[in-house]
Structure 1
Amino acid sequence: MDCIYFVNMETSKSSIKEITATTAFKVRHPVLREGKPIDSCQFTGDDFPTTFHLGYYIHDELVGVVTLMKNSYKELDHKNAYQLRGMAVLTNFQKRGIGDALVKKAEEMILARGGTFIWMNAREIAVRFYEKLGYTKHDVPFTIPKIGLHFVMIKTL
């Protein structure tokens, strides 16, 4: 894809681009599904026309990804909702604002597409990250087998 969005990062040249699902696997797999088969990081809906994927590049190296799927949350009535999935930043690049930049760019793009609401199933270790970006917990936590404790998090855009 040829959409490129430049972001400020003091120490290096970086950009956020729309990418394919297959490209997203390059970061999604080692971060979210390490030790599992590559097909374990493929999501139903990855190739839907309403789904988009963003990649964060530093000097042409893909270091972070996020996927956004047009998908309503069953318990809340939002017709223009998107689900955030597969948020991942390579370990050596975490804690540098890359995840923040990806989420903020995703929110901008959702708004541009007429979206008004975003939700996700966040891993327990990611809850504080999303809370700092204005997301709130909704409902009770749940466990995804072989992955761990998750919380539904929501935000109206």
Structure 2
Amino acid sequence: METRHIIPATITQQQPLISIRPISAKDTYALRQAVLWPNKPLSYVQLPDDIFGQHFGAFVSNSNDSDANDNGEDSCNSRDSKQNSEQSLVSIISLFDDGSGAARFRKFATAQLWQGKGVGSALLSYTIEAAARKGATSIWCDARQSALGFYQRFGMSGEGEVFFKGEVPYLRMSRALP
């Protein structure tokens, strides 16, 4: 699977250059823990099925727009050569085939400093497209109740009753794929 670069029309602090690419399950663990379950041990965020999943990461440029040329356009070619050394992993997601034609994403986390800046939205869009390319007819997740509005923007709707993982309320959400 190729790396996708999402380049906003105007690069600002609020609209970072985002690069999305496959990563290993191990590369997701630190961010999973820091964002989702900071008071639990690292082993708590490791899934037995991680070896069967696809894991994606969203990376943002560590530079502060110094690579943009004078007219405000992005000079993507100069960034590509520096990409690996100057990017930070700020959002992760894991995608699984549930065996029934549906895909499930889990452990979706975006670093707090990057929430609300489009990084998680770009990563979820990428993941939904990846599931559809693999032939999934639907996609679902167990969503934290505090994030239901976010998932609704992607056409997902709730099913069933609210349930709890520890003290955190969740709702299953899903949508059909084209």
TM-score, normalised via structure 1 length: 0.89
Partner of 1:35: 39
Runs of 4+ in 1 over 3 A off after TM superposition: none
User: Following TM superposition, by how much is the alpha carbon of 1:57 offset from its aligned partner in structure 2, in angstroms?
Assistant: 0.2
Partner of 2:97: 70
Helix, strand or coil: the match of 1:45?
helix
User: Following TM superposition, by how much is the alpha carbon of 1:143 offset from its aligned partner in structure 2, in angstroms?
Assistant: 1.1
The Cα RMSD (Å) is 1.3
Equivalent-residue separation in structure 1 for 2:147 and 2:48 (angstroms): 22
Equivalent-residue separation in structure 1 for 2:170 and 2:56 (angstroms): 23
**Residue deviations 1:83-140 (CA, integer Å, cap 9, x gap):** 1101100001100011111111001111111111101110111111001111000111
Q: 2:29 aligns with which of 22, 25, 31?
A: 25
Equivalent-residue separation in structure 2 for 1:152 and 1:25 (angstroms): 23
User: Following TM superposition, by how much is the alpha carbon of 1:145 offset from its aligned partner in structure 2, in angstroms?
Assistant: 1.9
**Residue 141 of structure 1 pairs with residue 176 of structure 2:** no
Equivalent-residue separation in structure 1 for 2:30 and 2:108 (angstroms): 12
- Equivalent residue letter for 1:154: S
Q: Runs of 5+ in structure 2 lacking a partner?
A: 62-86
Deviates more, 1:62-71 or 1:11-20: 11-20
- Equivalent residue letter for 1:57: F
Report sequence identity in percent.
Answer: 27
**Residue 4 of structure 1 pairs with residue 25 of structure 2:** no
Helix, strand or coil: the match of 1:86?
strand
